[in-house]
Amino acid sequence: MTRHTLPSDAWRKSSYSPDNGGACVEKQVTADGLVAIGDSKDRALGAHTFDPAPWQTFVEAIRSDVL
């Protein structure tokens, strides 16, 4: 998915991303309910979109150190 089709003011940077120009992950929920993930350092790369349930499963696995 291209980022230019998503509202630029809806992106939220991860609280785990440093403010010093390091790895910066951004997320937003699209109008059709998908979770969009992008790189704030290189917005030309586009965004990956996921259905909410698998995304939540992935996030929970990361938080519980399963992955």
Instruction: Give how far Cα 16 sits from Cα of 12, 22, 61, Å.
Output: 11, 10, 16
What mean pLDDT, rounded, does the chain reach? 86
| Residue with the larger pLDDT of the pair 41 and 58 | 58
Rounded mean pLDDT of 1-28? 80
- Angle 20-23-24 from CA coordinates, rounded to 5°: 85
Residue 60 has pLDDT above 80, yes or no: yes
Please give the model's pTM, rounded to 2 decimal places: 0.78
